[in-house]
Amino acid sequence: MRYYIIYDGECNLCVNAVRLLESLDQGKIFSYVPMQDTKTLTKWGITAQDCEQGMILTDENFSQRWQGSDAIEEVGRLLPTTGFVDIYRSLPGMKWLGDRFYEQIRDHRYSLFGKRELYQSVYCVDGACNPKNLL
């Protein structure tokens, strides 16, 4: 099963996270689409308002979708790691804290980490690597 990660391609934190995932996964599990690729996202039924709620992870069949901190947790679960996500989820109150932390980062990401020119992953979906697809 492959998964699509929809990320903010102008956010320094988001782009650095995508680059880290690219180096760990090398396109085996994940493909990436920046939120700025409105043509691809429209084709998938994902709106700008959806993107405002944070990163999105969806399976290739679009039958499952995670957003925000849930998406980060699912990415961590899908990677061959040491079970960090299961430990995190088992600690009382951590999910609530993680959700609040994610919301603060999401809402202040440009002021905290800066904004950059659009980054497009080399592990893109279909024609999403083509700058002509961006509006």
pLDDT in tens, 60-78: 999 999 999 999 999 998 9
Q: Where are the alpha helices (DSSP H) in the chain?
A: 12-25, 38-43, 48-52, 69-78, 84-90, 94-113
Grade residue 126 by pLDDT with cuts at 50, 70 and 90: low
Grade residue 79 by pLDDT with cuts at 50, 70 and 90: confident
What pTM did the predictor assign? 0.88
Q: Is 27 exposed, middle or buried (0-12, 13-18, 19+ CB in 10 A)?
A: middle
Which of these, 27, 38, 107, lies nearest to 6 by C-alpha position?
38
